[in-house]
Structure 1
Amino acid sequence: MKTSSRILKYTLEKDVQWTNYCVSLLSKYSFFKSLKINCKFLEISCDGIAWLITWTAFIWIMNSKALLQMQVNMLVGLILDIVVVAVIKSFVRRRRPVAIKDTLVIGPDKFSFPSGHASRAFYVLIFFTKLYSLNFVFLMPLTAWAVSVALSRLILQRHYILDIFAGAIIGVLEARFLEFIWISETFAINIAGLVSGSEEI
């Protein structure tokens, strides 16, 4: 037990050191200094509540049987991501590198491990490249967005490196799990009907 505790302590200390080193290194370059402004937009673009509300509105506005299966599966994955990250954060309770002063944070989101933004970004990336493949022209921008979101968490000092890597892995596993439980078109229509109170969509 003592050995495992020492290993964990050593790993966390190294994580803090490497994170501080990377942040210090990036801050020396004007490109990354200016990127901080874009990092705020990246942060908003991958916010969990924003995704949940926007995606639910997307389902409601489109009202399309052709898209419904994809939309419902995506929504299930987004809910799963929020729950998984919140549960892990509640158990681990690792403090963030720097306290967030410019954003209202409550509950598990006060904690750092794992990065919910990284998990969500990589879940979305795998979803639209493996589970519901978009045209290849969207592959590079989507990949660049996911990687940029993960990198922005480091630049803004919202997370440590280990938090970001763990988040990315969780996002990939969530997408693979969703692939395993993929909701059928008929079931998706039934779910949408129950939510909307309508028999048809």
Structure 2
Amino acid sequence: MDMLGGPTEEKRNIHPMLKKILNYDIKVTKQFVEAALKTTALRSLRNHAKFLEVSCHGIVWLAGWLSFIWFFDNKDLYQLQVNMLIALILDIVVIAVIKAIVRRRRPVPMNKLLELGPDKYSFPSGHASRATLVAITLMYLDPVWIVFYPPLFAWVTAVCLSRVLAERHYILDVLGGVGLGVLEALFMCLIWLSRNASISIISSLSDEKKDGGEYHV
């Protein structure tokens, strides 16, 4: 226990090989950021990092998706609405658990004015996993119109790059997040709820009878 009554963080023994990989990741990330800031396009992307961060924030997506379910009462949308909600909750829980286990500290920004935010752990990137999961869901599991594919891919790429450029994550954190997003999408593919099951869930939550049922007062 420390003087304030909180538990002191024990010094963790890291395997020499893993420590070497992490140190190399730190070095490469720093070199990438320094080089990127000399490029106009990537420097501009860093300037929009806050917007991209909000666009893929877990709370924003969860609240936004619940609002989408509430305001768009369409049986053709129920399957996507329910399964995406499950996917978002899954991602938030998995990211929280892994971060609590790994406990890798976030980078110290070269620009000390940048805020790190309340989440002090870095691996894996929740923004990268969430963006990947959402994109795969909308492009493969429940495909949207193909015209939206390029914007989705561009959004995922921009979100992932911005996490490094804004010095919120190391490169390995983002790659881990992307990989986790793919695994989560594969898991969702296995448990994907049918249209009828989704209609049943939405109907029960809204206290409505399914088509053909008796009128409920």
Asked if TM exceeds 0.5, the reply is: yes
The code of the aligned residue for 1:161 comes to: I
C-alpha deviations, 1:23-54, integer Å up to 9, x for none? 11111223322322212111110000000000
Q: Indicate if the aligned counterparts of 2:49 and 2:166 stay in contact, CA closer than 8 A.
A: yes
Question: Hey, what does 2:188 align to over in structure 1?
Answer: 178
Q: CA RMSD in A?
A: 1.8
Indicate whether 1:65 and 2:75 are aligned.
yes
How many angstroms does 1:110 deviate by? 1.9
Partners in 1 of 2:99 and 2:162 — Cα distance? 20
TM-score when scaled to structure 2? Answer: 0.84
How many angstroms does 1:196 deviate by? 2.8
Question: Hey, what does 2:208 align to over in structure 1?
Answer: 198
* Rg (Cα) greater in structure: 2
Question: Hey, what does 1:90 align to over in structure 2?
Answer: 100
The code of the aligned residue for 1:34 comes to: S
Structure 1, unaligned runs of 5 or more: none
Indicate whether 1:131 and 2:141 are aligned.
yes
How many angstroms does 1:193 deviate by? 2.9
Indicate whether 1:117 and 2:127 are aligned.
yes
Moved more, 4-13 or 166-175: 4-13
2:188 counterpart SS class: helix
Partners in 2 of 1:28 and 1:36 — Cα distance? 11
1:36-55 matches, within 5 Å, as 36-55=46-65
Identity of aligned residues (%): 48
Question: Hey, what does 1:151 align to over in structure 2?
Answer: 161
* Match 1:75 to one of 78, 82, 85: 85
C-alpha deviations, 1:78-135, integer Å up to 9, x for none? 0000000000000001000027964642xxx320000000000000111111101112
Bigger fraction of residues in helix: 1
Question: Hey, what does 1:30 align to over in structure 2?
Answer: 40
1:66 counterpart SS class: coil
TM-score when scaled to structure 1? Answer: 0.91
Partners in 1 of 2:132 and 2:67 — Cα distance? 22
The code of the aligned residue for 2:52 comes to: L
Q: 1:116 to 1:135 in 2, by over 3 A?
A: same
Q: Indicate if the aligned counterparts of 2:106 and 2:122 stay in contact, CA closer than 8 A.
A: yes
Indicate whether 1:141 and 2:151 are aligned.
yes
Moved more, 96-105 or 54-63: 96-105
1:65 counterpart SS class: coil
